[in-house]
Chains A and B, each alone.
Chain A
Amino acid sequence: MQLNVNGRTLEAEATGLATLVDVLRYELDLTGTKEACGVGVCGACTVLLDGRMVASCITLAAQAQGAQIQTIEGLGDRELLDPLQESFITDGGFQCGICTPGQLMAAKALLEHNPQPTEDEIKHWMMGNLCRCTGYYQIIESVANAANAARGDR
């Protein structure tokens, strides 16, 4: 099957029931996307399909054909980090890092849809991205600070 990932068309050998996360990780070597709970609850596997965040662990790769898929690998790199990546680094938005790609993709979708979210809006939007390390406060701060940075407050 063909998948459009981070602007590139990639060929993957995948059968009908392969989940998107498995195909990304084990067929396309895009291991930045993680799988944790496997049932769509924790958000570690969050990727964007046509700009909307979905759980790639309960989305079949076949369902993602024809959509623009964005993963952490497309967010920004060492040379040019996304403001979200910058703020997660400076404000303690990650510790062990396993939920971080999912948190960042969820936050990316949030800021695309609502560039200046309130704290409650961030909490509500990010509620489906579990983190066991940070207790969330520094993630929320990171997202808020990235939004401010985009506005030029920082």
Chain B
Amino acid sequence: MTAYQTVGTATARVDGVDKTTGRAEYAADHALPGIIWGKVLHSSRPHARIVRIDTTEATALPGVRAVITGDDIRGNLYGRAIKDMPVLAVDVVRYVGERIAAVAADDEATAQRALDLIEVEYEDLPAVFDIEEALGADAPIIHPAYGTYPGSKPLDAPSNGYHRTVQNRGDLDAGFAEADEIIEHIYTTQRQHQAYLEPHTTVVAIEGGHTNVWTNSKVPYATRDGLAFTIGIPADTITVHALYIGGDFGGKGTPLNMPICYYLARESGRPVRMVSDYIEEFLAGNPRHATLIKLRTGVKRDGTMTAHHVQFFVNCGAYAGYKPAGVIGGANHAAGPYRIPNTRVEATQVYTNTVPGGHMRTPGGPQTVFALESHIDEIARALGRDPYDFRMQNLAEDGEQNAAGETFARVRAKETLQAGAEAAGYAQPKGLHIGRGMALGDHAAGGGHGSATVTLTPDGGITVGTPIFEQGTGTHTTLLQIVAEELAVDPERVHLDSWDTGAVDTDSGIGGSRGTRVASTVGHEVAQETRRALLRIAAEAANRHVDEFTFGNDGVIRHNSNIVAPRSWGDLLVATGQTAVGHAEADIEGRASATGFAAQFAEVSVDPETGEVKLLQFTSAHDVGMVLNPVGHQGQVNGGIVQGIGFAMMEELRVEDGRVTTLSFGDYKIPSAGDIPPLKTVLLPSDDGVGPYVVKGIGENSNTPVAAAIANAVADAIGARVRNLPITSERVYRTLKSQG
């Protein structure tokens, strides 16, 4: 492996001082003269015709500057891919929490009082909340006009199942015919809130025809373009300003109140700030989707898998607009990294009268991996095999296709599983009611468009400009480390400049584990461009041809025959008084060719009298490329696991009769420092990976297998197989009771 000075070291984060002194600016911190507060009225009905909205009293309240309803802004629909949602409901509401009116007032309390004065008369319509209900023959169609929406494809017949894909490989029927046993299970997963601690926040100020937006968006360019489309104004009249994002986990790509904030600013003529409270976040955010997953697998007595049928149903909620691709992927994870020649993977996206889902850390991944990896354990047990051995027999090896028919370079599934098993003490003796379970996941880093500019000034200034907003994972620091490395300077000397939108044409932002992949490629390229700019300055100063100079990894520029004395690039700029600028853009398409495996092992004790599950230890083995920053990398591993524990055992955005009922952090519990088990991490570094620094993504991989590992450990401990997340003590207790 190449020796590096800065890359691969625990370089302190560039945002450290800002964030530990309270000086880092987040959207809610942005102050403007004359700023007023915006607030939203949410529907109290899951499906209803709006007969009348009376805003007279609200408008008359002193201190109120604007009151708007859907009728005031009838215009383009909103949506990230499928444009199916109005900014404020028009004529009909489709979920409890749907935005139906908004108020801007001098202070938050007045805005709230004004909302309380708005009268809405509804006429209830039949509603459907579950996947099966919504797909039923006489279910009310939630979007009769689907097919006319921008980004949608017309359906053959009206259905709440608005999107369906079927992917066939081999001959499924022949595969099942070959099998000695066919094993079939149904799994369900719950809605999970991203639970970033910074709620969605937007500040909008319209000045002289230009719209300035401060919002916590991880995809500022897409946010700008989406707003422009919805309002019907040119994108270049909107600037989304750079700021820190207080946690994302997938949920900060959806603007929620942002378009409303624009209309309130326009209507009131004042800058408007909208800070969601956590009731609004839980009621009307964009949570991880609830799913229903049917798996059917044919297997021979010798353990060979012959056929595998996945039916993946996604409860999308009332709108598709919060999904960046209009649908939730991940179905392929329910096929898995196994050698199965005959597979069918079906995915159905279903509208229901519930809160629309959005993206969260590997959309679809934790759901499908939970189902598949639970199912694999159940197949192994049915055959009387140890789940570890059964996986080792069936995992695809390097050069083989996985069950979905994908081929990745340098597959290290078995090595990762083995390393995890050893670290977890999987084969060690264990006590009564103690169980160990494993699960495997893999994820190839996503692609995207990124860019960066490096500016070197004669006074020693080094600035890296980037269109990516720092949402917490350390992408800025990665970029800075690479530039420092390539220019052979102390990273502390590098200043980072987070750009507003408009600085470049476009940028993909953060998501799909692309951050490190894109940033490392862009960082490398911009550094090479900067080196070339420096060589040009050196050549010009010496009146020689640029090709005669080289840039050393020590930061020294040398002439090929030493006619010109070597000198550091810093000295060159001092001597010439010039400024060197390098700019690079990178378009990285599709998923990376190399995937990264995660093998996780949970050790639990289960109290058979109460069903209480205690996590005794958690082990996470990762097949990684080069680790650019070990502290940041470990932080992604730890954070992903703990979120996974929440998903597995405690978090559930409960929806009852279409209404979210877990409306505070008192009821929606996420893991605290008191809930974390001892953690072991095993890294299997290698020269495999993508891009100039051979990296793999980590942010998603550490999170996807957790629930399955815990479910399998619980089954190992007391034989209770919980197929519905979360694995609460009550579920374990009931499962045990039902088994007698």
A37 touches B471 (CB 8 A): no
In the complex, which residue of chain A has the Cβ closest to the Cβ of B676?
Answer: A136
Considering the chains assembled together, what is the distance between the CA atoms of A44 and B277 in angstroms? 13
Contacts of B18 in A (CB 8 A): 97
User: Closest CB of chain A to B513's CB: distance in Å?
Assistant: 15
Q: Is B22 an interface residue (CB 8 A)?
A: yes
A31 touches B20 (CB 8 A): no
A95 touches B639 (CB 8 A): yes
A96 touches B247 (CB 8 A): yes
Q: Is A51 an interface residue (CB 8 A)?
A: no
Binding-face segment, B412-420, B665-673, B687-695: B665-673
Report B1-39 CB contacts with A as 1/0, cut-off 8 Å: 000000000101101111111111110110100000000
A89 touches B20 (CB 8 A): yes
Contacts of A42 in B (CB 8 A): 197, 665
B23 touches A138 (CB 8 A): no
Residue from B245, B277, B641, B671 within 8 A of A96 (CB atoms): B245
Contacts of A133 in B (CB 8 A): 247, 472-473, 635, 639
B666 touches A97 (CB 8 A): no
Q: Is B642 an interface residue (CB 8 A)?
A: yes
Contacts of B638 in A (CB 8 A): 134-138
User: Closest CB of chain A to B108's CB: distance in Å?
Assistant: 8
Residues of chain B from 672 to 694 with CB closer than 8 A to chain A in the complex: 672-674, 676, 679
Q: Is A3 an interface residue (CB 8 A)?
A: no
Report the interface size class on chain A: 35 or more
Considering the chains assembled together, what is the distance between the CA atoms of A93 and B21 in angstroms? 13
Q: A42-B197, A135-B642 are in contact. Are A98 and B673 (CB under 8 A)?
A: no
Q: Is B235 an interface residue (CB 8 A)?
A: no
Residue from A31, A89, A130 within 8 A of B197 (CB atoms): A130
Contacts of A126 in B (CB 8 A): 673
Residue from A17, A35, A94 within 8 A of B20 (CB atoms): A94
B17 touches A33 (CB 8 A): no
User: Closest CB of chain A to B38's CB: distance in Å?
Assistant: 14
In the complex, which residue of chain B has the Cβ closest to the Cβ of A31?
Answer: B29
User: Closest CB of chain A to B665's CB: distance in Å?
Assistant: 4
Q: Is B585 an interface residue (CB 8 A)?
A: no
In the complex, which residue of chain A has the Cβ closest to the Cβ of B681?
Answer: A137
In the complex, which residue of chain B has the Cβ closest to the Cβ of A88?
Answer: B20
Contacts of B245 in A (CB 8 A): 96
Residue from B12, B22, B639 within 8 A of A134 (CB atoms): B639
Instruction: Pick the most buried of B19, B195, B474: most chain A CB atoms within 10 A of its CB.
Output: B19
Contacts of A153 in B (CB 8 A): none
Report B635-676 CB contacts with A as 1/0, cut-off 8 Å: 101111111000000000000000000001110001111101
User: Closest CB of chain A to B217's CB: distance in Å?
Assistant: 14
Q: Is B199 an interface residue (CB 8 A)?
A: yes
Contacts of B194 in A (CB 8 A): 132
Q: Is A41 an interface residue (CB 8 A)?
A: yes
Considering the chains assembled together, what is the distance between the CA atoms of A107 and B637 in angstroms? 23
Residue from B25, B26, B198, B631 within 8 A of A91 (CB atoms): B631
Q: Is B196 an interface residue (CB 8 A)?
A: yes
Q: Is A1 an interface residue (CB 8 A)?
A: no
Instruction: Pick the most buried of A36, A91, A131: most chain B CB atoms within 10 A of its CB.
Output: A36
Contacts of B679 in A (CB 8 A): 135, 137
A39 touches B665 (CB 8 A): yes
A98 touches B21 (CB 8 A): no
Contacts of A90 in B (CB 8 A): 10, 12, 631
B635 touches A81 (CB 8 A): no
Report A24-67 CB contacts with B as 1/0, cut-off 8 Å: 01000111111111110110100000000000000000000000
Q: Is A104 an interface residue (CB 8 A)?
A: yes
Q: Is B278 an interface residue (CB 8 A)?
A: yes
User: Closest CB of chain A to B286's CB: distance in Å?
Assistant: 15
B198 touches A34 (CB 8 A): yes
Considering the chains assembled together, what is the distance between the CA atoms of A108 and B21 in angstroms? 13
A130 touches B672 (CB 8 A): yes
In the complex, which residue of chain A has the Cβ closest to the Cβ of B279?
Answer: A38
Q: Is B324 an interface residue (CB 8 A)?
A: no
Residue from B26, B471, B473, B671 within 8 A of A34 (CB atoms): B26
Q: Is B634 an interface residue (CB 8 A)?
A: yes
Q: A73-B21, A96-B245 are in contact. Are A130 and B665 (CB under 8 A)?
A: yes
User: Closest CB of chain B to A116's CB: distance in Å?
Assistant: 18
Q: Is A144 an interface residue (CB 8 A)?
A: no
Q: A42-B197, A97-B472, A132-B197 are in contact. Are A138 and B634 (CB under 8 A)?
A: yes
User: Closest CB of chain B to A24's CB: distance in Å?
Assistant: 10
A78 touches B196 (CB 8 A): no
Q: Is B249 an interface residue (CB 8 A)?
A: yes
Q: Is A99 an interface residue (CB 8 A)?
A: yes
Considering the chains assembled together, what is the distance between the CA atoms of A31 and B19 in angstroms? 12
User: Closest CB of chain A to B530's CB: distance in Å?
Assistant: 27
Residues of chain B from 221 to 263 with CB closer than 8 A to chain A in the complex: 244-249
Q: Is B336 an interface residue (CB 8 A)?
A: no
Considering the chains assembled together, what is the distance between the CA atoms of A142 and B23 in angstroms? 20
Residue from A36, A71, A129 within 8 A of B278 (CB atoms): A36
Q: Is A5 an interface residue (CB 8 A)?
A: no
Instruction: Pick the most buried of A42, A135, A138: most chain B CB atoms within 10 A of its CB.
Output: A135
Q: A71-B22, A73-B22, A138-B638 are in contact. Are A96 and B17 (CB under 8 A)?
A: no
Contacts of A35 in B (CB 8 A): 28
Report A90-134 CB contacts with B as 1/0, cut-off 8 Å: 111011111111001000000000000000001110111111111
Residue from A30, A97, A132, A138 within 8 A of B15 (CB atoms): A97
B278 touches A38 (CB 8 A): yes
Contacts of B249 in A (CB 8 A): 132
Contacts of A33 in B (CB 8 A): 22
User: Closest CB of chain A to B649's CB: distance in Å?
Assistant: 14
Q: Is B632 an interface residue (CB 8 A)?
A: yes
Considering the chains assembled together, what is the distance between the CA atoms of A25 and B24 in angstroms? 14
Considering the chains assembled together, what is the distance between the CA atoms of A90 and B249 in angstroms? 23
Q: Is A23 an interface residue (CB 8 A)?
A: no
Considering the chains assembled together, what is the distance between the CA atoms of A121 and B509 in angstroms? 39
Considering the chains assembled together, what is the distance between the CA atoms of A81 and B12 in angstroms? 14
Considering the chains assembled together, what is the distance between the CA atoms of A138 and B629 in angstroms? 14
B635 touches A92 (CB 8 A): yes
User: Closest CB of chain A to B238's CB: distance in Å?
Assistant: 25
Instruction: Pick the most buried of B194, B244, B673: most chain A CB atoms within 10 A of its CB.
Output: B673
B246 touches A97 (CB 8 A): yes
Q: Is A145 an interface residue (CB 8 A)?
A: no
Residue from B17, B26, B29, B631 within 8 A of A78 (CB atoms): B17
Q: A31-B29, A73-B21, A77-B21 are in contact. Are A137 and B676 (CB under 8 A)?
A: yes
Q: A132-B249, A137-B638 are in contact. Are A31 and B244 (CB under 8 A)?
A: no
User: Closest CB of chain A to B660's CB: distance in Å?
Assistant: 15
Considering the chains assembled together, what is the distance between the CA atoms of A104 and B25 in angstroms? 17
Contacts of A81 in B (CB 8 A): 17, 20-21
Contacts of B641 in A (CB 8 A): 135
**Other 16 A-B pairs with CB < 8 A, given A97-B18, A126-B673:** A31-B28, A31-B31, A36-B199, A37-B664, A75-B21, A76-B21, A81-B21, A89-B13, A94-B20, A95-B247, A98-B247, A124-B674, A130-B670, A132-B643, A133-B472, A138-B638
Sampled A-B contacts (21; CB under 8 Å): A22-B108, A25-B29, A30-B22, A31-B22, A36-B278, A38-B664, A39-B278, A42-B665, A85-B17, A89-B12, A95-B639, A96-B471, A97-B19, A130-B197, A130-B665, A133-B473, A133-B635, A133-B639, A135-B635, A135-B676, A138-B634
Question: Which residues in B have some Cβ–Cβ distance to A below 8 Å?
Answer: 10, 12-13, 15-26, 28-29, 31, 108-109, 194-199, 244-249, 277-279, 471-474, 631-632, 634-635, 637-643, 664-666, 670-674, 676, 679
Question: Which residues in A have some Cβ–Cβ distance to B below 8 Å?
Answer: 17, 22, 25, 29-39, 41-42, 44, 71-73, 75-78, 81, 84-85, 88-92, 94-101, 104, 122-124, 126-140
Of all A-B residue pairs in the complex, the 4 with the closest CB atoms, nearest first, are A32-B22, A96-B472, A98-B246, A135-B638
